[in-house]
Structure 1
Amino acid sequence: MRTLFAVVLLIFSGLFLSCSDKNEYVVEAELSNLSDQPLYVIHDRFRAGMTLDTIRPVNNFFQFKGSSEALTRVNILNPDRTLLLRLYLQNGDRVKITGDVEVPGEIKISGSNTNEELGKFRNENSVVLGRITEVEKKYALDKDLSAYYSDITRLRDSLYYPVKKYVTENTSSPVSALLIYEYLLDDVNFKRCDSLFKSIDPDGKPTNIQALVELFLENVKKTEIGKRLPYFAFKSDKDSMLYTSSFIGKPTLVTCWTADDNASIHEILSQRDIFRKTDKKKLNMVSFSLDPDSIGWKRQIKADSLNWRHLRIPEGWNDRWVKQIGITRIPYTLVLDKTGTIVARNLYGKELEDYILKMLADTEKKEKNK
């Protein structure tokens, strides 16, 4: 009787584990040179939001679980919050990771064809990806956004042809969509990304990744060079009204930022030099804050003597106008000519200053020659 009970228990346990596997994903890792400090796992579930797990490796081993019916991005972070490894998982996946944390380009992944293919791509392009990691670490402290995006764009350019080759040879694989989303998607090369993404078979595009890529591309196209800024009417920090129509007649620099973001503050302080070097009668400058807290925003404006026009959008990212212009990053800059047409976007620091000064000089020269 006890034997029969034991057999039934084992069968029931097996069925339970089988059902459990179908309702979750499981990751087991055995990585040498793990410190005894905690690692962090971010489960970025589409529409369901992000969750953060803290895990403590024991003897170079750790395990974590999660649940998502759709393919979801999972970031494993080092103790200093830099990226160690990125996976794409959904319920039913059981993944094993082996390797050395000091040689992330050679970490092996098994148990999931999607992640095995992504891991193979990472290993084959480990030199470029290693440089991208170095750039991200460098600029985490140095907020020179112009140099950062220049370096990142150059490195992403070198990944374009390996990604294109994979996509061309694997148009029905979900890995093709993931590689574009992971390594190419930005507002500089969006046209190439759009064309490459359209070449993938519809069945090869995971629903959530397709939604994210298409949303990004749609947002980028809203402020393409040559378009007009959508109409707005907002209150300034001094409670006066400001309208889009007030920009017509002279070039305008528009910046979206937040006072609690270090990169935003660095850029706004850089723009203070532009304000001091330019004739106020020849250039409009207006900054839109997405800060929910007006106190910190006003304190920042006063403390740093940011004496151009500032507006706060209390609804932040949820504001209708913010969605209309399709902001993809913070800080976000747009340069308009005197007709209100967008002529440049997402320039920063010295690059932005040089562009503005040249634009004003060219405008003045044209007016003199009329």
Structure 2
Amino acid sequence: MMHKMKSLLYLGALLGMANACNKNTTPTTGGTDGAGYQLSGQLQNAPAGTKVYLAELGETQFVSRDTATTDEKGQFKFTGSLPEAGLYQVKTSDQNQALVVLSNGSRVELSGDANQLPTTYTVKGSPDSELLKTITRTLESSQRQMQQVMPRLEQRYTQAAQAGRQDSMQAIQRQAEALQSQGQREVARLVRQNPNSVVSAFVLSSVLNPDDNFTLADSVATQLKASQPNSRYTKSLVARLEPLRATAIGTTAPEISLAAPDGKNLPLTSLRGKYVLIDFWASWCGPCRRENPNVVKAYNKYKGKGFEIYGVSFDQDRAKWLKAIEADGLIWKHVSDLKGWESAAGQTYGIKSIPASILLDPQGRIIGKNLRGEALEAKLASVLK
């Protein structure tokens, strides 16, 4: 239903992968001297001999690092030496896992019910691990709310769409977006309070959308480059932000010069002197097509007041592209190189999902991103007085 719902997929980076993505490798154990880490735990409902697995979060999956067994009291212990602080998963099964942060010198204590570990575990001795737990619980709560409410909103949205009630569709969309943003705002607040944590770096590069949180992410990256310059999480966040820097609010939008429907190249800079909405979309993109009526409404209202739209299509089929333009009444400027996700403009602007949009002032500076419906109209009303 909603274009922003895709950002919930970031939740999988922290929760879904923790439950499912495990790579079987030969367990390895580091040194056990005082400079290394120690993770001790006590699990309820864990008979003596229960296996406990420790896995490190790699780039795309968890990699097995060690295995321990519980004693008659449900206690277990991992010790070792690490090259740097990292995110780790402790689990008794794929359904029963907890996330912690380990680093040399850390003494982490974990406890919980072996049969309900995700919802019962507590962790002490590691501020980073406690932060990770708080963020995980926040995201889990947000996800549960979405799962409970979204089916009803989806049904109402479909009914409104079938009846052609645009106002109702927009109201339902605002409800869903507000619900989704609650959890994200709380996570952003926690990150803002912990700018030197590797957890914050991971969350900003893999869980929250760094494009929507660029100022916060850039600030955290700056502090981490000073405090932990060699951390893989610092490097990952810095690399994630680099392509976004060119399209940050206040910067001059990079040039786009692709073919219009008539076959002639139409440079973005040819529209200087007007407020321009760069609209990334495609004929095959359902959320894009559902958003088009809102864009048409804004265009019809402000096209005579110094406003233009520069549509960049991620289509590959020319006929389908042109048919969608006509069917949806998109009577503004259009370009495409018909390369789909390999679009040169999409690569330049770092577009990972559509619909996506960027609003430029008459000098070509970026003044807004991903404005939809009433938000777009409100922004245009404020600048086109």
2:142 aligns with 131
Give the unaligned 5+ runs of structure 2. Answer: 1-23, 29-56, 62-85, 90-95, 102-111, 158-168
1:163 aligns with 2:191: yes
1:221 aligns with 2:206: no
Identity of aligned residues (%): 21
Structure-2 change in CA distance of 1:289 and 1:354 (3 Å): same
1:199 partner SS: helix
Structure-2 change in CA distance of 1:120 and 1:325 (3 Å): closer
Residue 288 of structure 1 and its aligned partner are, at CA, apart by 0.3
Q: Distance in 1 between matches of 2:97 and 2:279?
A: 33
Report if the CA contact (8 A) 1:220-1:327 is conserved. no
Report if the CA contact (8 A) 1:156-1:183 is conserved. no
1:121 aligns with 2:149: no
Q: What is the RMSD of the two structures over their aligned residues, measured on CA atoms? A: 4.7
Residue 130 of structure 1 and its aligned partner are, at CA, apart by 1.3
The residue type paired with residue 298 of structure 2 is: I
1:33 aligns with none
Residue 271 of structure 1 and its aligned partner are, at CA, apart by 0.6
Residue 298 of structure 1 and its aligned partner are, at CA, apart by 2.7
Q: Distance in 1 between matches of 2:122 and 2:339?
A: 42
Q: Distance in 1 between matches of 2:260 and 2:346?
A: 16
1:327 aligns with 2:351: yes
1:308 alignment partner, one of 332, 349, 352: 332
1:293 alignment partner, one of 307, 312, 317: 317
User: 275-284 or 286-295, which moves further after superposition?
Assistant: 275-284
Structure-2 change in CA distance of 1:20 and 1:193 (3 Å): same
User: What whole-Å deviation, never above 9, does each CA across 1:131-170 have from its counterpart, x for those lacking one?
Assistant: 3553487568468666655554553332334334555xxx
Aligned counterparts, 1:218-367, within 5 A: 218-280=242-304, 282-360=306-384, 362=385
Aligned counterparts, 1:35-114, within 5 A: 46=59, 99=115, 106=119, 108=121
Residue 183 of structure 1 and its aligned partner are, at CA, apart by 4.8
Give the unaligned 5+ runs of structure 1. Answer: 1-17, 23-43, 51-70, 75-83, 90-95, 363-370
Report if the CA contact (8 A) 1:220-1:328 is conserved. no
Report if the CA contact (8 A) 2:229-2:235 is conserved. no
Residue 21 of structure 1 and its aligned partner are, at CA, apart by 3.9
Q: Distance in 2 between matches of 1:265 and 1:88?
A: 42
User: What whole-Å deviation, never above 9, does each CA across 1:310-341 have from its counterpart, x for those lacking one?
Assistant: 22233344444433333354222112222222
1:186 partner SS: coil
1:220 partner SS: helix
What TM-score, normalized to structure 2? Answer: 0.57
Structure-2 change in CA distance of 1:296 and 1:87 (3 Å): farther
Q: Distance in 2 between matches of 1:205 and 1:342?
A: 32
User: What whole-Å deviation, never above 9, does each CA across 1:347-368 have from its counterpart, x for those lacking one?
Assistant: 11121123224433x1xxxxxx
2:303 partner SS: coil
Q: Distance in 2 between matches of 1:114 and 1:296?
A: 53
1:92 aligns with none
Q: Distance in 2 between matches of 1:86 and 1:283?
A: 51
The residue type paired with residue 141 of structure 2 is: G
Q: Distance in 2 between matches of 1:356 and 1:175?
A: 37
1:227 partner SS: coil
Q: Distance in 1 between matches of 2:341 and 2:235?
A: 18
Structure-2 change in CA distance of 1:192 and 1:302 (3 Å): same
Report if the CA contact (8 A) 1:45-1:73 is conserved. no
Residue 99 of structure 1 and its aligned partner are, at CA, apart by 4.7
Structure-2 change in CA distance of 1:245 and 1:183 (3 Å): closer
Report if the CA contact (8 A) 2:98-2:121 is conserved. no
Residue 115 of structure 1 and its aligned partner are, at CA, apart by 11
User: What whole-Å deviation, never above 9, does each CA across 1:222-271 have from its counterpart, x for those lacking one?
Assistant: 12233222223211123233122321222212111233332222222321
User: 225-234 or 277-286, which moves further after superposition?
Assistant: 277-286
Q: Distance in 1 between matches of 2:192 and 2:206?
A: 13
The residue type paired with residue 229 of structure 1 is: A
User: 323-332 or 132-141, which moves further after superposition?
Assistant: 132-141
Report if the CA contact (8 A) 2:275-2:308 is conserved. yes
Aligned counterparts, 1:177-216, within 5 A: 177-200=201-224, 207=232, 209-216=233-240
What TM-score, normalized to structure 1? Answer: 0.58
Structure-2 change in CA distance of 1:210 and 1:150 (3 Å): farther
Q: Distance in 1 between matches of 2:286 and 2:244?
A: 23
